[in-house]
A and B are shown apart, each in its own frame.
Chain A
Amino acid sequence: MAATRQKPDRTRLIGGPGLLLVWLYGVMVVGAVSRSAYQIATEFDRAPLAYSLSALAGVVYGFITYTLVRGGEAARRAALVCCAAELVGVLTVGTWTLVDPSAFPDATVWSDYGMGYLFIPVLLPLTAVYWLRTARPRRPAA
């Protein structure tokens, strides 16, 4: 288990700007998960695609939050990959909702590049990738 490794050696990812990132990701987790859970439970047939995408977004946000809190090099790499996936997701779904609005009878978290969420969904991954790259360990991993 990872917990048996010495903790102090892990790259701390929630210091400084990372704290703000964790908090915002936490907000997005709550927002996306609760929203999609409610919509899937009550009116899934109305916009299955939109609600499934919101749920997927919630899962991705949850995983990124976990990796940030956990810290360490492996978590940093995993978070980088997820943030890239998140960015691709926001851009794809954002463009999709603009090109083909009829596929989305209701909004997703990523509709119109996350406009309903103050564009946080598109700004977060950019900031996170930048932060995760600067948090790279100074000495090469043993």
Chain B
Amino acid sequence: MSAFGASGPLPGDEAARTPARMLAGANAAGRFRRNKVAAMLDVLTVVTGVAALLLGAWCGWAAYRDQPTKDWHFIGMAVVTLLALVQLIVGIVQLARGEKPEQGTTIFVAYLLGAFACVPAAGFLSLGERSRWGSVTVAASGVVLAVLEVRLYDIWGG
């Protein structure tokens, strides 16, 4: 609760938010007793983030060699998207089981959806751009997805 003291005088609604924060704190304290699905979510977040960075590096390499995205790149995008989809499902299952993300359910779901849509959106764009710039765009989407995964990790409170 010391974090509140540092932020100075609180408006009324801030005080109303405190119980939620305390709940989040209790959730964090019980982290050691987390169930298997929660551990799975953490692992998925890390794996998806790493896979996204690999995809970014791969497509960045293609761009460096002045190549458009090819079939193998699209398979890579499909794999990363599949990981993000599994993460989305596991995240929703966690919410359905009554678990609460540390920074709020809405933000958690929004980031899960964003993470899922990120790479496919760039993939479709690169279909229409048969030059190195299609590869650059997909590479950028990989980096953005990795950033989203870091944020997801924080939001969930891992």
A-to-B contact residues, CB < 8 Å: 14-20, 22-24, 26-27, 30, 34, 38, 42-43, 45-46, 105, 118
Identify the 6 closest CB pairs spanning chains A and B, nearest first.
A19-B129, A16-B133, A20-B137, A23-B137, A19-B133, A20-B136
Q: How many residues of B contact A (CB 8 A)?
A: 25
Q: List 30 A-B contacts (CB under 8 A).
A: A14-B129, A15-B133, A16-B131, A16-B133, A17-B133, A17-B136, A18-B133, A19-B125, A19-B126, A19-B128, A19-B129, A20-B136, A20-B137, A23-B122, A23-B125, A23-B137, A23-B140, A23-B141, A24-B140, A26-B121, A27-B118, A27-B144, A30-B114, A34-B110, A34-B114, A38-B106, A38-B107, A43-B13, A45-B11, A46-B13
Partner of B121, one of A18, A20, A23: A23
Q: Is B14 an interface residue (CB 8 A)?
A: yes
Give the complex CA separation of A23 and B138 in angstroms.
9
A38 touches B129 (CB 8 A): no
What residue of chain B has the Cβ atom nearest to residue A42's Cβ? B106
- Apart from A18-B133, A20-B133: 6 A-B pairs, beta carbons within 8 A: A16-B131, A17-B133, A19-B129, A20-B140, A27-B144, A46-B13
Chain B residues near A14: list those with CB within 8 A: 129
Give the complex CA separation of A50 and B5 in angstroms.
22
Chain B residues near A42: list those with CB within 8 A: 106
Give the complex CA separation of A34 and B107 in angstroms.
9
- Chain B positions 107-140 with a Cβ under 8 Å from a chain A Cβ: 107, 110, 114, 118, 121-122, 125-126, 128-129, 131, 133-134, 136-137, 140
CB distance from B141 to the nearest CB of A (A): 7
Number of A-B contacts (CB under 8 A): 47
Chain B residues near A15: list those with CB within 8 A: 129, 133
B130-158, CB under 8 A of A: which get 1 and which 0?
A: 01011011001100100100000000000
Give the complex CA separation of A17 and B132 in angstroms.
9
Chain B residues near A24: list those with CB within 8 A: 140
Chain A residues near B128: list those with CB within 8 A: 19
Give the complex CA separation of A22 and B110 in angstroms.
21
Chain B residues near A30: list those with CB within 8 A: 114
Chain A residues near B133: list those with CB within 8 A: 15-20
- Chain B positions 30-88 with a Cβ under 8 Å from a chain A Cβ: none
Chain B residues near A27: list those with CB within 8 A: 118, 144
Give the complex CA separation of A22 and B134 in angstroms.
12
A118 touches B137 (CB 8 A): no
CB distance from A90 to the nearest CB of B (A): 19
Of A15, A18, A27, most B-chain CB atoms within 10 Å: A27
